[in-house]
């Protein structure tokens, strides 16, 4: 089955807010429910993973379109954001992520 067909099938048959892992660690697909006249749709979630491949955050960055990805990319490559992240690392205590069981993988 072609990837587009699998995406269409996931949009049609997936449960609201269902998250599917992809073959790229940290990249997931999410089925967004119908909301205020907007039809159900698919989105990409970027969420760091632990050693077992499970998402480390309850919800990552949700990307609904290619233009939105472009805008988020511009923000993420800003050197000031990296500098801020390093500064936060210096003041925050070290965190250890919880380990979760693996999930079904969506090949992309």
| Dihedral pair phi/psi, residue 56, rounded to 5° | -90, -15
Strands (E), the chain: 19-22, 27-32, 41-46, 61-63, 105-106
pLDDT at 82: 92
**pTM beyond 0.75:** no
> Residue 63 above 60 pLDDT?
yes
The mean predicted confidence, pLDDT, of the chain is: 87
pLDDT at 107: 74
Which pair of structure tokens corresponds to residue 50? 């632990």
């Amino acid at each position: 089955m072609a990837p587009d067909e699998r995406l269409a099938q996931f949009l049609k048959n997936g449960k609201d807010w269902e998250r599917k892992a992809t073959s790229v660690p940290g990249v997931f697909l999410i089925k967004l429910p119908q909301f205020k006249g907007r039809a159900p749709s698919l989105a990409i979630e970027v969420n760091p993973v632990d050693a077992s491949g499970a998402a480390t955050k309850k919800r990552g960055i949700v990307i609904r379109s290619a233009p939105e990805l472009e805008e988020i990319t511009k923000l993420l490559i800003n050197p000031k954001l990296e500098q801020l992240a390093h500064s936060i690392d210096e003041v925050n205590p070290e965190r250890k992520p919880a380990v979760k069981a693996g999930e079904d993988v969506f090949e992309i």
